[in-house]
Structure 1
Amino acid sequence: VNKYLWQASLEVLNFLPIESVDPFTGVISTGYGTPPGGGRAYRATVYVQDPALDARSLRVALQTRGGGAVSAETARSIEDAILTRARQLRIRDSKL
């Protein structure tokens, strides 16, 4: 898995309690948590599917506490935040 996507996923979703992580399959599963400033509780499953630092390498599945659907816009914004943070981490490492 891509180490930057992995680390960025953990950082962006740090408000959610981690239930399981498997770096060999690239899956991070969380419990329910409420984002800062938000009122709705979510849980997430993150799939880092490829070693490339690319949007196709990342998939985030979100669920609300009541089992309700999460809008595609919300899921996309989480993926974008993870990708942005992953790029920042890679840039930081390239400057070392």
Structure 2
Amino acid sequence: MSISRILLGIGLAVALLVQSGCGSSAKRGSVETPPADEIVDGILYPDGNKPRGTIWDIFRSREDQGRIGAVNKYIWNASLDTLDFLPIQSVDPFTGVIVTGFGTPPGGGKAYRATIHVNDPALDARSLNVALMTRSGPASAATVRAIEDAILTRARQLRAQDSRL
């Protein structure tokens, strides 16, 4: 074997030893860093007198992002499914209001009209308000409660179908 091959082998061995020594097996503690907003505010306002609002606030994330006009999609779709026998007059998904015209349920004799308000993104009974009218006045509380229960049951079914996917 030539001397150059021996020196090359020794050089590679030394390089590998040096490189393996660079990585330390000792675990280091996590480094606490402030959020980017605090760092930027510290640079822009070193004295700590940050104004209440700036033009740059439109680029910052908001706590209630996506909550404006948000309704629970399961309750919304369940309301439309359950009351599909009523003709829809207007819908507003931003405020969560569905207004229907008069319609007769299958197998029923009375005509009903409904106004549904979905006021929360949570799948909760408190998120749903139903106002039911007949041609002669307000519907009975038991009928309204039965419609609300049917809508909430259908909303749970829709959610269960989504979770299986």
RMSD: 0.5
Structure 2 residue ranges without an equivalent (≥5)? 1-70
Q: Which amino acid aligns with 1:15?
A: F
Among 138, 152, 156, the alignment partner of 1:83 is: 152
Alignment of 1:1-96 (within 5 A): 1-66=71-136, 68-96=137-165
What percent identity do the matched residue pairs reach? Answer: 76
TM-score, structure 1 length as denominator? 0.97
Three-state SS of the structure 1 residue aligned to 2:162 is: helix
Q: Which deviations, in whole Å up to 9, do the C-alpha atoms of 1:25-62 show, x marking residues without a partner?
A: 00000000000111000000000010010000001000
TM-score, structure 2 length as denominator? 0.57
Following the alignment from structure 1 to structure 2, what is the Cα–Cα distance between the partners of residues 79 and 32?
18
Following the alignment from structure 2 to structure 1, what is the Cα–Cα distance between the partners of residues 90 and 138?
22
Q: Which has the larger radius of gyration?
A: 2
Following the alignment from structure 1 to structure 2, what is the Cα–Cα distance between the partners of residues 38 and 59?
23
Q: Which amino acid aligns with 1:72?
A: A
Q: Which amino acid aligns with 1:64?
A: T
State the 1:12 CA deviation: 0.2
Higher relative contact order (CA 8 A, sep 6+): 1
Structure 1 residue ranges without an equivalent (≥5)? none
Following the alignment from structure 1 to structure 2, what is the Cα–Cα distance between the partners of residues 31 and 69?
14
Q: What is the count of residue pairs matched by the alignment?
A: 95
Following the alignment from structure 2 to structure 1, what is the Cα–Cα distance between the partners of residues 149 and 108?
18
The answer to which structure has the higher strand fraction is 1
Q: Which amino acid aligns with 2:152?
A: L
